[in-house]
Amino acid sequence: MTTRLLIIGGSDAGISAGLRAREWDPRCEVTIVMADRFPNYSICGLPFYLSGEVPDWHWLAHRTAEDIAREGIHLLLDATAQAIDPASHLVTILDEAGKARQLPYDRLVIATGAVPVRPRIPGIDLSGVYLLRSMQDSFAVHEYLDTHAPASAVIVGGGYIGMEMADAFVRLGLAVTVVERGAWVLKTVDESLGKQVLAELWHHGVEVATGVAVERIAQAGPQLRVMGSEGFSVTADLVLVAVSVRPQTELAEAAGIATGERQAIRVTRTMETNVSDIYAAGDCVETWHRLLKAPTYLPLGTTAHKQGRVAGENAVGGHREFAGTLGTQVVKVFELVVARTGLRDAEAVKAGFEPLTVESTSWDHKIYYPDAHELHMRVTGDRKTGRLLGAQMVGHYQSEVAKRIDVFATALFHGMCVDDLNELDLSYTPPVSSPWDPVQTSAQAWVEQCQNGE
């Protein structure tokens, strides 16, 4: 029997689901309905397109439409799903021409992703104020840069996109101010590491205002004035708002599909929703956390790929479980790379652990070999059991920060104790490490402090 698999959404989760389904069962018929013309585009790459490091936006495609078609997947571009009818297994769409059609399915995968949160700030709809999530968003910013040659920008939000866009705008010669509501930028890491990022921003001439809630954006002649708490006020030619995202679930909810954490679609670890034959994956769903042993909302491209793969396989007869997220993340900010995996103190406490976090510093390789850089590391473990709970790291972009965090992530996946990291047989030659890798010296620092009862 041929399974008709319908997928709503053509970004990471949707395309992964389709590819995996075709790989698993080459007889299945896969159709992907997507709202724009950019299947499988790397939205993580948008800041690098805007910075000019990626000269042509077409390069951002993980795969071309032709690559996808060659895998036997039918793509419906510029088509929006309007309604799901689970009882009759039908999805109503408006096609490219704006015509309503009904598509039947045996199995459905919802991969509608997330949308940026549009804060209710007076003035947010003014010309020159942008959000950044979709290809269309980036075209709009790109056109503004081209046609208006702005000299200055305010970025609202000190998260990943805020940091990457600060880097991009500086590269383009703009004067940049970042406004962040929290006490430090990059709140995905602890304050002491966030301060390293702050120093890097300053070093590149970026102004940073922390602890400031933006209250209003107003026209100021040809410019825009951004005003906030603490009397904050700055004018610039361009305002980019990147505060957070929320799952796009209206379509699912209207069809009776239950939501959970942060109103994301509730799914099992096999990526099934509460409605028969309907799966969901990616930034629109809640995500099983391997350490918390509970669902959370953590929209990440890596997770979307994994969940899409599980959903696609199961939708055509497989039996795979999503192994869970560890919240592993990394971002490059100018010369720095900032990465983390697992839990931080506050998250660990909520999950019933007794966390201890110890910060340490090591050279990325033997100091005698040229170009050694310091790595700043924070290791979190459970005082009671000694179990590793998480790690954070900031270092130079040539210091293998990302893959060092991945060693921690692999250790976390297996529930290792901090002390046991010393047993790992990690690679060493003076230009790339030390006989005890920094991963291990940071573990030794944790063990020592834990034993001293500090």
Residues that bind a second copy (CB under 8 A): 12, 42, 44-45, 48, 53-54, 59-60, 62, 290, 300-306, 309, 323-332, 337, 339, 341, 366-370, 397-398, 400, 402-407, 409-411, 413-414, 420, 422-433, 435-437, 439
- Shortest Å distance, C-beta 339 to a second copy: 5
Nearer to a second copy, 101 or 290 (CB): 290
- Shortest Å distance, C-beta 98 to a second copy: 33
Q: Which residue has the tokens 């030659």?
A: 429
- Shortest Å distance, C-beta 234 to a second copy: 28
- Shortest Å distance, C-beta 367 to a second copy: 8
Nearer to a second copy, 13 or 252 (CB): 13
- Shortest Å distance, C-beta 291 to a second copy: 10
- Shortest Å distance, C-beta 349 to a second copy: 22
- Shortest Å distance, C-beta 123 to a second copy: 31
Closest CA to 165 of 191, 189, 146, 142: 142
Q: How far apart are CA 120 and CA 122, in angstroms?
A: 6
- Shortest Å distance, C-beta 180 to a second copy: 20
Nearer to a second copy, 60 or 257 (CB): 60
Nearer to a second copy, 60 or 108 (CB): 60
Nearer to a second copy, 197 or 337 (CB): 337
Q: How far apart are CA 158 and CA 121, in angstroms?
A: 17
Nearer to a second copy, 255 or 416 (CB): 416
Closest CA to 151 of 116, 177, 113: 177
Nearer to a second copy, 25 or 237 (CB): 25
Nearer to a second copy, 337 or 394 (CB): 337
User: Phi first, then psi: what are they for 172, rounded to 5°?
Assistant: -85, 0
Nearer to a second copy, 108 or 336 (CB): 336
- Shortest Å distance, C-beta 424 to a second copy: 6
Q: How far apart are CA 304 and CA 113, in angstroms?
A: 9
- Shortest Å distance, C-beta 49 to a second copy: 8
Nearer to a second copy, 114 or 236 (CB): 114
